[in-house]
Amino acid sequence: MQKLFIISILCAACCAVPQDLSGKMFTFPVESNTAHVTLLPSRVNFKSVTVCLRYLTDLTRNYALFSMASRSSANDFLIFKTANKGRFDVHTRGKVSSFRGLPDEPNTWYSSCSTWDSNSGLAQVWINGNPSTSGVGFKGNLDGAPNIVLGQEQDSVGGGFDAGQSFVGMITDVHMWDYALSACELQRFASDLNFTPGDVINWRALDFTITGDVVVEDDQISRCLPSQ
C-alpha cells in the first residue's frame, strides 16, 4: 500500500504541468477549514530539508506556514507560528523545536527560511536573512511519500484541518530543498538575489492544485523598476 501511495504521488507530479509563478502570490482571503494549496514535490525521502518563502499576514493567533505530512507523521515537517509573539515552532516527524524573539509584526512582508539536518537533528529559523538559535529535532530520515500543503495544518495526510490554525494572508516564492542551505544561500534568498531554486519545490516551476478560496494574483512586494 505504501508503494502504491508513493507511485500515485509521483504519477501526479509527472502528469501536472509546472507553472512559473514568478511575480505571483497565493492569497488566502478568509479563515476556513477547507482553503489550501497542495504542492507536488519532485521527490520523496529526505535526509535534510530547507523551506523558504515570503509571507504577509495580520494574524495574531496560531497558524501554519508550511505543512508536510506522511503516513509516518502528520507533522513530518511543519513550520508553525504560535500565538506567542515572536515564537515559531519547527516540527520534524512530530518533534518540536521552538524559537523565540523573532520578528513578528502584522501586515509586514517577511522572508522566512527553516532548515533541518537529519544527522544532527539541528533545526533553525531564519527571518529576513537573520538566524535564530538552533534547536534539536528528529534525528533520522523523513521517508515515505510527502503531502505538502499551504494554508492549513494537517492532522492527517491531506486533512484534519482546523480553521483556527489556517493561514490568512499572502504567500509567495515558496522553495524547498533536500539539503540545508548555507548561511550565504539563505541570505541571498532573503535579499531576493540570484539564489538557486528549490530542487523539491520550485516557485518558478510549480506543480500545485488549489482547493477552496485561494487566489493567484500579482505579488505586492516592491520590485518595481524606476520610470525611464
Instruction: Kindly report, residue by residue over 109-136, the tens digit of the pLDDT.
Output: 999 999 999 999 999 999 999 999 999 9
φ, ψ (nearest 5 deg) of residue 179: -150, 165
Predicted local distance difference test score (pLDDT) of residue 80: 98
The overall average pLDDT reported for the chain is 92
Q: What are the tens digits of pLDDT across the range 151-168?
A: 999 999 999 999 999 999
Predicted model pTM: 0.90
Give the distance, in angstroms, between the CA of residue 82 and the centroid of all CA atoms in the same chain: 15
Predicted local distance difference test score (pLDDT) of residue 221: 81
Q: What are the tens digits of pLDDT across the range 167-178?
A: 999 999 999 999
Contact assessment for residue 28 and residue 151, using Cβ atoms and an 8 Å cutoff: yes
Contact assessment for residue 40 and residue 167, using Cβ atoms and an 8 Å cutoff: no
Question: Is the pLDDT assigned to residue 8 strictly greater than 60?
Answer: no
Rg (CA), the chain: 16
Three cell numbers written together for 82: 504560535
Give the distance, in angstroms, between the CA of residue 132 and the centroid of all CA atoms in the same chain: 17
Q: What are the tens digits of pLDDT across the range 79-93?
A: 999 999 999 999 999
DSSP annotation string for the chain: -HHHHHHHHHHHHHHS--B--TTEEEEE-S--SS-EEEE--S---BSEEEEEEEEE----S-EEEEEEE-SS-TTSEEEEE-SSTT-EEEEETTEEEEE-S----TT--EEEEEEEETTT-EEEEEETTEEEEEEE---S-B-S--EEEESS--SBTTB---GGG---EEEEEEEEESSPPPHHHHHHHHTT-SPPPPSSB-GGGB-EEEESS-EEEE--SS-PPPP-
Average pLDDT on 196-215 reads 98
Average pLDDT on 39-58 reads 96
